[in-house]
Amino acid sequence: MNENPLIPLFGYFALLSLFAVGGANAAIPEMHRIAVEVMHWMGDRQFADSFAIAQISPGPNVIIVTLIGYHVAGLAGAAVATVAMCGPSCVFAFLVARTWDHFKEARWRIAIQAGLVPVSIGLIGASAFVLARTADTNIYAALITAITALIGFATRINPLWLFAVGGILGLSGWL
Amino acid sequence: MSTSATPSRSNSINPSLTELFRAFVVVSISGFGGALPWARRMIVEQRRWMTAQEFNEAFALAQFLPGPNVVNFAVVFGSRFGGAAGAAVALAGLMGPPLIIVTILAFLYARFGDLEMLSRILTGITAAAVGLLIAVVAKMAAPLFRERRDWAPFVAMAAFVGVAIMQWPLPLVFVVLAPISIALAWIRR
Per residue in B118-147, pLDDT (tens digit) is 778 878 888 888 899 899 999 999 988 887
Mean pLDDT (whole number) for A135-163? 89
How many Å separate Cα A89 from the centre of its chain? Answer: 14
**Domain boundaries along the sequence of chain B:** 17-147, 148-189
Which residues of B fall within a CB distance of 8 Å from A114? 149, 152, 182, 185, 189
First-last CA distance in chain B: 31
**Under a CB-based contact definition with an 8 Å cutoff, are residues A76 and A70 in contact?**
no
Tally Cβ neighbours within 10 Å of residue A43: 11
- B22 interface with A at CB cutoff 8 Å: no
> What pLDDT was estimated at residue B3?
41
- Each residue's pLDDT, cut to its tens digit, for chain B (189 residues) gives 344 434 444 455 789 999 999 999 999 998 876 789 999 999 999 999 999 999 999 999 998 888 888 999 999 999 999 999 999 999 999 999 999 998 888 888 777 766 677 778 878 888 888 899 899 999 999 988 887 678 999 999 999 999 889 988 877 888 899 999 999 999 986
- B99 interface with A at CB cutoff 8 Å: yes
A168 vs A173: CA distance, rounded Å: 9
Contact B183 A22 (CB under 8 A): no
Which residues fall within 8 angstroms of residue B92, CB to CB, at 6 or more apart?
Answer: B21, B24
- A89 interface with B at CB cutoff 8 Å: yes
Which residues of B fall within a CB distance of 8 Å from A156? 45
> What pLDDT was estimated at residue B1?
39
**Under a CB-based contact definition with an 8 Å cutoff, are residues A127 and B70 in contact?**
no
**Chain B closest-CA separation from residue A69 CA (Å):** 10
> What pLDDT was estimated at residue B176?
93
pLDDT in tens, A35-53: 998 999 998 888 878 887 8
Tally Cβ neighbours within 10 Å of residue A99: 10
Average pLDDT value for chain A:
88
**Chain A closest-CA separation from residue B10 CA (Å):** 15
pLDDT at A55 over 80: no
Return the exposure string of A120-153: e unless at least 16 CB atoms fall within 10 Å of the residue's CB, then b: bbbbbbbbbbebbeebbeeebbbebbbbbbebbb
With CA atoms as reference, report the closest residue to B109 among A70, A7, A175. Answer: A70
> What pLDDT was estimated at residue B110?
75
B155 vs B17: CA distance, rounded Å: 37
Which residues of B fall within a CB distance of 8 Å from A152? 37, 131-132, 134-136
Contact B124 A85 (CB under 8 A): no
Contact B156 A110 (CB under 8 A): no
Return the minimum-mean-pLDDT range out of A19-23, A69-73, B9-13, B67-71: B9-13
- B153 interface with A at CB cutoff 8 Å: yes
**Chain A closest-CA separation from residue B90 CA (Å):** 11
What interface predicted TM-score (ipTM) does this complex get? 0.85
